[in-house]
């Protein structure tokens, strides 16, 4: 093993208490670059900025994901900073390199028809599972709530005749979210089905097996996947977060403005909400391609 690499790995263990798996990952990434550098007759410690750029280009050409490229660059940066700090080099050849930016992953969402099928299937689940699944789906799709926000709701959040709920989101920030009459009715049916004469409705709208605690994320996810199976949908494509994406996508596609959507979703920055414009732009382009007379002309 290269003596500089060995010294670097020893530093990781002694000074940073890095786990064995972490040290092994650094070793593998740096030895991969060392083999590349050797092809140009350069040692690992003697690499130039140009050689590092060529290596990153080779990683891209190999089809490595941006996240994997960034991991390799991070290993190189830490290695050469170590060499600079210890006096093995007078400069850091990785200092001017930019990390690759991962492409934006477009959110997965369900079509309106798939949402309808999912709701119909949820209603066919046996016992209380059906009422719970329907209420959860109606609220998620009607409001775009995060799963943590949904499971934190109390029965008092649902008030007869009220068309809004107060939601406490990330960072304790509160926002008002409109409710559809159908979502309110589904929540009321859920509550009515578990109330006992003269009893309390409990602390949670969606309680867990232990009624003193809310339903877990895993429990809700499993319930939605059961509904997906009954609906004939891929369970891997159905989750509370996919319902949130579906809410946002359908709302924007039907004329909602981006600022309103930002408020409803509880995003602190408009840039987070803007990802949904990519979805609607693609749909608009497809619509133009199908229906505009000029788009159908032969070139």
Same domain assignment for residues 132 and 65: no
DSSP class of 98 = P
Which of 170, 203, 211, 278 is the catalytic position?
170
Same domain assignment for residues 79 and 122: no
Domain hosting 40: range is 3-85
Which of 4, 146, 245, 250 is the catalytic position?
146
Same domain assignment for residues 190 and 62: no
Higher local confidence (pLDDT), 153 or 194: 153
Same domain assignment for residues 237 and 278: yes
Three-class SS state of 194: coil
At 289, the pLDDT band (50, 70, 90 cuts) reads: low
- CATH code (residue 12): 1.10.150
Q: Does residue 170 have an active-site annotation? A: yes
- CATH code (residue 164): 1.10.443.10
Q: Which residue has the tokens 């509904």?
A: 227
Q: Does residue 298 have an active-site annotation? A: no
pLDDT digits (tens, 9 = 90+) for 121-147: 999 999 889 999 999 999 999 999 999
- Residue where a domain terminates, one of 68, 85, 102: 85
Which of 77, 194, 217, 267 is the catalytic position?
267
At 218, the pLDDT band (50, 70, 90 cuts) reads: very high
Same domain assignment for residues 16 and 69: yes
Domains held by the chain: number: 2
Q: Does residue 146 have an active-site annotation? A: yes
Q: Which residue has the tokens 């059961």?
A: 226
Which of 27, 244, 245, 250 is the catalytic position?
244
The region, left, alpha or beta by phi > 0 then psi within -120 to 50, assigned to residue 57 is: alpha
Residue 231 lies in a domain: yes
CA atoms of 259 and 269, how far apart (whole Å): 10
Please answer whether residues 243 and 237 qualify as being in contact, where contact means their C-beta atoms are separated by less than 8 angstroms: no
At 1, the pLDDT band (50, 70, 90 cuts) reads: confident
pLDDT digits (tens, 9 = 90+) for 145-163: 999 999 999 888 877 566 7
Residue 151 lies in a domain: yes
Residue 103 lies in a domain: no
Same domain assignment for residues 59 and 190: no
Please answer whether residues 237 and 108 qualify as being in contact, where contact means their C-beta atoms are separated by less than 8 angstroms: yes
Residue 34 lies in a domain: yes
Residue 101 lies in a domain: no
Residue 98 lies in a domain: no
Per DSSP, the residues of 132-156 read HHHHHHHHHHHH---HHHHHT--GG
Same domain assignment for residues 74 and 118: no
Length of the chain equals 299
Three-class SS state of 177: strand
Same domain assignment for residues 67 and 172: no
Please answer whether residues 196 and 226 qualify as being in contact, where contact means their C-beta atoms are separated by less than 8 angstroms: no
Exposure on the CB side of residue 256, measured as CA atoms within 13 A: 19
Alpha helical stretches, state H, the chain: 3-15, 20-38, 49-61, 66-85, 112-122, 127-143, 147-151, 181-192, 217-231, 240-253, 258-265, 270-273, 275-291
164 membership: H or E segment, kind and range:
strand 164-168
Q: Does residue 244 have an active-site annotation? A: yes
Residue 280 lies in a domain: yes
- Residue where a domain terminates, one of 69, 85, 101: 85
Same domain assignment for residues 70 and 118: no
Same domain assignment for residues 32 and 132: no
Which of 77, 81, 194, 241 is the catalytic position?
241
Other C-beta atoms lying within 10 Å of the C-beta of residue 192: 10
Same domain assignment for residues 240 and 155: yes
Same domain assignment for residues 12 and 154: no
Confidence (pTM)? 0.60
Residue 281 lies in a domain: yes
């Amino acid at each position: 093993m290269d003596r500089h690499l060995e010294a670097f790995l020893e530093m990781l263990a002694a000074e940073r208490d890095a786990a064995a798996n972490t040290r092994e990952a650094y070793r593998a990434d740096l030895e991969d670059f060392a083999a590349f550098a050797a092809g140009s007759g350069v040692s690992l410690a003697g690499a130039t900025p140009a050689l590092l750029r060529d290596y990153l280009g080779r990683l891209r050409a190999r089809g490595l994901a941006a996240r994997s490229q960034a991991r390799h660059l991070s290993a190189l940066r830490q290695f050469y900073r170590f060499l600079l700090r210890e006096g093995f080099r007078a400069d850091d050849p990785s200092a001017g390199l930019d990390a690759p930016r991962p492409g934006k992953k477009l959110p997965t969402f369900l079509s309106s028809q798939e949402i309808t099928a999912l709701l119909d299937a949820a209603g066919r689940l046996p016992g209380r599972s059906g009422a719970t699944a329907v209420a959860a789906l109606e609220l998620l799709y009607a409001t775009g709530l995060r799963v943590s926000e949904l499971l934190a709701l109390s029965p008092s959040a649902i008030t007869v005749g009220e068309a809004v709920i107060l939601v406490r989101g990330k960072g304790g920030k509160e926002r008002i979210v409109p409710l559809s009459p159908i979502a309110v009715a589904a929540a009321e049916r859920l509550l009515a089905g578990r109330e006992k004469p003269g009893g309390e409705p409990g602390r949670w709208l969606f309680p867990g097996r232990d009624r003193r605690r809310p339903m877990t994320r895993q429990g809700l996810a499993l319930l939605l996947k059961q509904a997906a199976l009954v609906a004939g949908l891929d369970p891997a494509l159905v989750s509370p977060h996919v319902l949130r994406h579906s809410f946002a996508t359908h709302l924007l596609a039907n004329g909602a403005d981006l600022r309103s959507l930002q408020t409803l979703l509880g995003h602190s920055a408009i840039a987070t909400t803007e990802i949904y414009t990519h979805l609607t732009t693609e749909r608009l382009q497809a619509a133009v391609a199908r229906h505009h007379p000029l788009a159908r002309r032969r070139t």
